Amino acid sequence: MRNVVAGLGAVLVLAVVVGVGWWLLEGGGLLGEEEPGDTAEATLEAYLDAWERGDHDQMAAQLRDPSETFLDVHEQLRAALDPQALETEVQQLAEPQDGRALADVALAWEVAYADDLVWEVEIELLRSQGEWAVSWSQESVHPAWQPGLVFAVTVSEVERAPILATDGTQLAGPGDQVVLGFEPTAVEDAEKLIEAFEEGAGAGSAAERELGRDDLVDDWFYPVVTVSGEAAEDAWDELRDLPGALRRTSEGRTLLEDGFARHIVGEVAEATAEQLEELGAPYEVGDEVGQFGLEAAFERDLTGSEEVAVVLRDGEGGPVREVLLEHQEEPSGPLQTTLDVAVQRAVENALVGVETTAAIVVVDAEDGAIRGSASRPLAEYNRAFSGRYAPGSTFKVVTLEALLADGLGPDGEVSCPQDTTVGGLAVTNVGDLDLGETTLRRAFAESCNTTFAPLAVELGTDALLAAAERFGFGWEPDLGLTAHGGEVAEPEDDAALGASAFGQARVASTPLHLASVAAAAEAGAWHPPYLLEDRERDDEPRGLTEGVLDDLRDLLREAVADGTGTEADVHDEVRGKTGTAEADGDVEHAWFIGSFRGHGFAVLVEEGGSGGQVAAPIAGRLVRELDALLGDPEAAVDADAAADPEDAAIDVDDLPDPDDE
């Protein structure tokens, strides 16, 4: 029995020995495992695994000839990047000759301050006496790294991006600013100084306020007004000879021209405590932020966040030699508007000398792009976009389209008595106008309320509202700025329907929307106005009734050439319609809407009275300016008539008080 047991034990031992040997031959044990140094692959894997862990000593253990700077370089790299993780990926491992291998390796550093930082390195491996090792070089760190360079992460403020016109012209951006002010002890004649500030920069009240302070300090510079470098010389001409007047020049945010498209573009100034609380980090005391207009509406888009850069520099604090990564968490960039510099300048020029509250908007008839807009006074809100008013007889353009669509021709017979009653509403004409039996053409040109009110009742509510919808009423703009469209409330009775026909009752619009109405009458389709080139637009154009465009344009031309709009008849391509709109408080707003060379426009003079006497002359000036800046000189009426602001000044107090149009 003892011999049998001994034999079985021997067999078991032999089986174990054979099994272990087989396992080792299959590579499952120590004899079959590739150790670093055995192959290029195993050596590279050990090197990269150690790099991912940040074990620089273990990396150094894989080197052929350890460099004295190896540890310093890799520790500086990791400390500078402060990675959360590192991932390595072998793109290619080739052995171009026996005993030498080249590996292309992608390094992906996961960092908190930017998207992953990725670059490729080339790692060389050599075999000597049967052992593989990494032959470390500068290409093993970064293709651009050289001894003496260090890795660094920089954080910098980003300059506020510019606001641009449609052609890329800078409407607002970095430029020279000139601050005009005074030094108290040097002032000899405060009244003359105040007058000079008013004449030179329109800042008389600001100068008076500053000079009247009781806490003025000797030898101190007190700023009164900041102007662009372009306007500074004219202003300084008024101030330079007056004792105490001073100026300081610096760089800052400036408009293309002083006041140019100011209500749209906006301005920047030091943030208030309330603004800092609303904006939050990273804004802090002393930062300048947008106060209104696009500057305020797109504050974050224009400034973005701080810009982080990973760089190679020449020693600590030395010059940057290579930028490896630039990242901005909240990207900033230029804001491109649809404004046309020439059109905007024409709008600004048309309002020179207008000494009352007014607004002008010009849109492109082909696509609705807003090409120019201005409101007065400059210090008040943007009434061109957000001021809601009754449109008065300018709405007759909509009613006229509905009548033409219903089959009434331009020379169809209509009645225009001095007065009439519609649904109990007494309707009259301007100046007791009485054309008797006449044509639709003449009734529109002379703006007969007593024609359009009863015709609208015959037409019916649905037809009038459908026409209003074709002209965009009921649409609300999405411009990035506060803006409103036009609205026609459904008339509750014939009286309201009749009043709606000539833009009263519960009809309201903005200058912006009425400019788009004029543009639609020019192009045959209403396009939603838009202001920003890159902003997505969802609204589709609305076509006018097929077959009415020629008659509509013909009657709009006649209203200018031989109707209430003759003050705007400065060019044979001008079409338009006047309007005088009743408002609360027994005031009347003056309107003119029209078109010229592919543009629709609206002119409003708040509390101006007669559209034909007040708004139409401004429209004429606008057309002259547009013609001079955009048009055909040979076809133009002489624009010099509007060149002198003194001659062109309009004071509504000197005008008669007309009846409703």
Catalytic residue numbers read: 393
Identify the DSSP state of 167: T
Q: Which residue has the tokens 């009485």?
A: 434
Q: What dihedral do alpha carbons 316, 317, 322, 323 form, nearest 10°?
A: 110
Q: What number of residues does the chain have?
A: 661
Which tokens sit at 229?
């470098």
Report H helices in 291-421. Answer: 293-297, 299-303, 341-350, 383-386, 396-405
What is d(CA 325, CA 193) in angstroms, rounded to the nearest whole number? Answer: 54
Token pair in block for residue 658: 């007309």
Angle at 93 between CA 88 and CA 99, to 5 degrees: 125
The Cα-based distances of 626 to 31, 347, 567, 611, 633 in angstroms read 91, 8, 16, 20, 11
Pairing relationship of beta strands 335-336 and 320-328 according to DSSP bridges:
unpaired
**Cα atoms found within 13 Å of the Cα of residue 59, Cβ hemisphere only:** 21
Backbone angles phi, psi at 436, to 5 degrees: 65, -140
Q: Is 121 helix (H, G, I), strand (E, B) or coil?
A: strand
**Pairing outcome for strands 131-135 and 163-164:** unpaired
Closest CA to 339 of 299, 384, 284, 277: 384
Q: Torsion angle, CA of 536/539/545/549, rounded to 10 degrees? A: -30
The answer to whether 296 touches 405, Cβ cutoff 8 Å, is no
Please choose, from the candidates 412, 423, 505, the residue with its C-alpha nearest in 3D space to the C-alpha of residue 465. Answer: 505
Task: Spell out the alpha helix ranges (H) of 406-533.
Answer: 440-445, 449-459, 461-470, 494-501, 511-523
How far does Cα 424 stand from its chain's mean position? 49
Query: Can you tell me the distance from the alpha carbon of 524 to that of 544, in angstroms, rounded to the nearest whole number?
Result: 6
Query: Smallest Cα–Cα separation from 111: which of 329, 258, 313, 405?
Result: 329
Peptide bond into 377 cis (omega under 30): yes
User: Phi and psi at residue 651, in whole multiples of 5°?
Assistant: -115, 110
Judged by DSSP in three states, 130 sits in coil
Q: How far is Cα 366 from Cα 554, in angstroms, rounded to an integer?
A: 19
Residue among 144, 138, 74 at smallest CA distance from 109: 74
* Angle of helix 449-459 versus helix 461-470 axis, rounded to 10: 110
Distance CA 618, CA 602 (A): 10
Which residue, among 359, 365, 364, has the nearest Cα to 347 in the 3D structure?
Answer: 359
Residue among 253, 262, 254, 163 at smallest CA distance from 533: 163
